[in-house]
Structure 1
Amino acid sequence: MKNALSIAGVDPSGGAGIIADLKVFIAHKVYAMGVVTATTAQNTKGLYGMQLIDTKLIKDGINAIFDDIKVDVIKIGVVPSVEIIKTVADTLKAQKYLPPVVLDPVMSCKNGDIWLEGESKNAIVKELFPLAKVITPNRFEATEILGFEIKTKEDAKKACIELLKYGPKSVFLKAGEIDGASVDVFYDGEEVLFLETKRLNTDSTHGSGCSLSSAIASNLANGDDLKTAVKKAEEYIFNAIKNAFKVGSGCNPVNHFYNFY
């Protein structure tokens, strides 16, 4: 069994963040590990508060894992301050061997609300993008970084090309709805791959971005090449949304374990 490490925040309702990451790892038959960067007061209706974890504990937690366990892949989610971003980056760079890193550069919600701005946004790009085998921004995060809106497939293609210039090995852009379909775009510096799925009329999409990046990470840990990993992750998330069930009264989480039922 391969070992996957999530470095992310806690959504206590279990739909997003590190709890969702661990569910995805387990669903993909990967041993699940996690280092918490922040804990929140959150449910399907919204985010009500956040407490950051001390950077020394984050550093010590990452080092403790690497000192004892072979890490086959890393997924990075919420890193909500410049200090935490730099701590994660420096700690990972200090390891003797750095496995593939899947970075979900969490800056905004799926409705476009930006909650991570300024120096923290810049620090993610500067410190973490160069460590990533693949980054998985949504269209709003890409717009926040690049300064132009993504409305067409050509915009999405341009965004991937520009994002690659910041240092990641590849880009998986969650472009959202374009011309009535759900469009994601993968770019590895050579080929632009458009991945389209049918739009589902549902509110059960909470944590879909976190879960997609964790699915990519799981597939990489299990030995898939990157293109195969993103294609399989796309299919997994589509089915997890399609087979979701009601949990709360707001934006419900995807069904991470749909294959088990």
Structure 2
Amino acid sequence: MDRRNLLRAGVVGVGAAAFSGALWKEAFAAPAQPGPGPYGALQAANSHGIQLPSGFTSRIIARSTQTVSGTSYVWHRAPDGGACFADGTGWIYVSNAETSSSSGGGASAVKFNSSGTITGAYRILGSTNNNCAGGATPWNTWLSCEEVSLGRVYETDPWGVNAAVFRPAMGRFKHEAAACDPDRQVIYMTEDTSDGCFYRFIPNTWGNLSSGTLQVAKGGSGTSVPITWANVPDPDGSPTATRNQVSGVKRFNGGEGCWYQDGVCYFTTKGDNRVWARSEEDTS
């Protein structure tokens, strides 16, 4: 079984749903099997309480309310969703702060050189609320999403050069995560509420999120159903929430993390402990 099939089967094994039959043809024939990952079996927990495969190590790079080593920057409270971005021979790690604006909500970044030494830390977004997850874009920006009623999506610069920009066309709702699909040139988004929806944003121009169309998934109540997409009439979400503007929407119990890979968008729901997959083979 190759990695692609294993991921599909793993989704089935935890009681997930797909949105097209083609994705599941192989998956149902190969139930998920417990066993070591591609890097080998997990070892006993290390001094940080983390179980890692043989050959891997961990270190603490920052602690909330404390200065990041080698910098003058105080790390934010409640670190949440994040991503890494290549920076020459080094990299940048960005992290959301899932706390109120008065407690430092927003996002921060830590910069590393090629040897892994921290060379800087700084704020890339501030004065926002409960920035939970988000997603990296193919053009190297970080989408930081507010998990509050009428929450916003902010497009931020991991290098901290350009100011963060609010993207109203992507909708105002209780945002969780975002996953960019460069094949269809859309961005999938989850909603963290018990009667939430699954969305996609279609920019008018790929790489420019200032305008576009917000759509919501429609489908039955089962765990393996076809879906169609409908435009959200009022992405601003007021006075009617985006999830209640279109009839026949597919409901999801607490949308969480979201990831696009090889033609499939995977996302999780915490209310029913499921992993879902939206197949690229579904052309609707």
Q: TM-score when scaled to structure 2?
A: 0.30
Larger % of strand: which?
Answer: 2
TM-score (norm 1): 0.31
Higher relative contact order (CA 8 A, sep 6+): 1
| Greater share of residues in helix | 1
